[in-house]
Structure 1
Amino acid sequence: MKRHAPATERNRDPIAAVLAEILPLAGLVLEIASGTGEHVAAFAARFPALDWQPSDPDAESLASIAAWSDGIANVRAPLAIDAARGDFPVADAVLCINMVHISPWEATLGLLAGAGRALSAGGPLILYGPYRRHGVETAPSNEQFELWLKDKDARFGLRFVEEVTDAAAPHGLTLERLVEMPANNLVLVYRRG
């Protein structure tokens, strides 16, 4: 059954514009925490030369991903992947949208470790979502969102770019680019050395 996340309609085109500058011309893009599956369906249509491997640990999400990607030739069947475990298939790029803030820190650590193993030299890890930066004021809407997240689960919350970057380094991942996006979000692009 197809699930719908309203934010997807608002952010998919701005995200796709950044992806057009970063993704390889061909190869496999592994999406971690694909959620509803709407992003992977939209991006597969936008980038038909790439193969897309969606994933999620949640059974209902996997069903939604399969429904959204049904009949799309360059989208593979979704995999049950728990980011915290970091057990990823080999990929030419790894994409993760809106997971880092709405999961325990261990999921981010697993994501970074998994991407470090899955990517070959030069491969990008692309993260999208709300982040904090040292010395940069956070938007009031992000402050309110963080309170809502913490109320859901004390382990959730907006992460500092600097802390994610420090945690990425041992896995051969270096922050190459930070892109400010609409609605107080960021795209972080890490490269495998």
Structure 2
Amino acid sequence: MTPPDSLAWTDAPTMEKPHAPATERNRDPILAILRRHFTDRHRVLEIGSGTGQHAVHFAAALPHLSWQTSDRPQYLPGIRLWLDEARLLNTPDPVTLDVNAPPELRMRFDAVFSANTLHIMSWPEIERLFALLPDVMTPDAVFCYYGPFNYGGRFTSASNAQFDAALKQDGPQRGIRDFKAVDALARDAGMVLVEDAGMPANNRCVTWRQVAA
């Protein structure tokens, strides 16, 4: 069975352009979802941009969007290599965003995207991420997340169970999250569920919308 997609970057920055093979496989199914939900958007904040591959692919396909990449400092050089090579007009320089240190973002975004980050982060970090979102999103913003989920405390496939075990070997704080628990965090942050779409390789693409107070 095909294991779920995951970004496989290293902890140390490198001058060679980083590459995550899974991104090549999942980018077009994700793009189909973004075309539905980001058509009327203007500024996207990508949280955990990783290699930068998603950013250049989506920004090229959706030129009406300003696609703001972000990640922890050690990943920014690799992201810049992808952005510099693509030379797109709608990809500003990446910014530092670490949920353990409040970001200093000077603007709000009407769309947020993240892929394969929740199973890497610890649960307290996920809580901090969702608590942060209202501060960086406009009142009607859309948040689109791609990655695997459990439902009702159960894995959706044997390969997801194997993937979860591998994650926990790398760090006991990691693991595939239960959809209900994550959706509760989104609701606490003022969002409502718009779509929970099945994706290849036992993944989901979940979209929430911020509800104006």
Instruction: State the Cα distance separating 1:102 from its structure 2 match.
Output: 1.0
1:185 corresponds to which of 189, 198, 203: 203
% identical aligned pairs = 38
SS at match of 2:185: helix
1:67 corresponds to which of 81, 86, 101: 81
Distance 1:44 1:93, change over 3 A: same
Name the counterpart of 2:138: 120
Q: Is the 8 A contact 1:44 1:74 kept in 2?
A: yes
1:150 corresponds to which of 168, 171, 181: 168
Q: Is the 8 A contact 1:25 1:50 kept in 2?
A: no
Name the counterpart of 1:44: 59
2:177 corresponds to which of 149, 159, 175: 159
**Which structure carries more helix by proportion?**
1
Structure 2 residue runs of 5 or longer lacking an equivalent are 1-15
SS at match of 2:25: helix
Structure 1 residue runs of 5 or longer lacking an equivalent are none
CA distance in 1, matches of 2:169, 2:194: 33
Matched length: 192
Q: Deviations over 1:86-129 (max 9, x none)?
A: 63631110101000001111222122122222212221111100
Name the counterpart of 1:25: 40
Q: Between 128-137 and 4-13, report the one with greater CA deviation.
A: 128-137
Q: Deviations over 1:24-69 (max 9, x none)?
A: 434110000000000001001000010010001141x211111101
> Which residues of 2 match residues 92-111 of structure 1 at below 5 A?
92-111=110-129
SS at match of 1:42: helix
CA distance in 2, matches of 1:47, 1:169: 28
SS at match of 2:35: helix
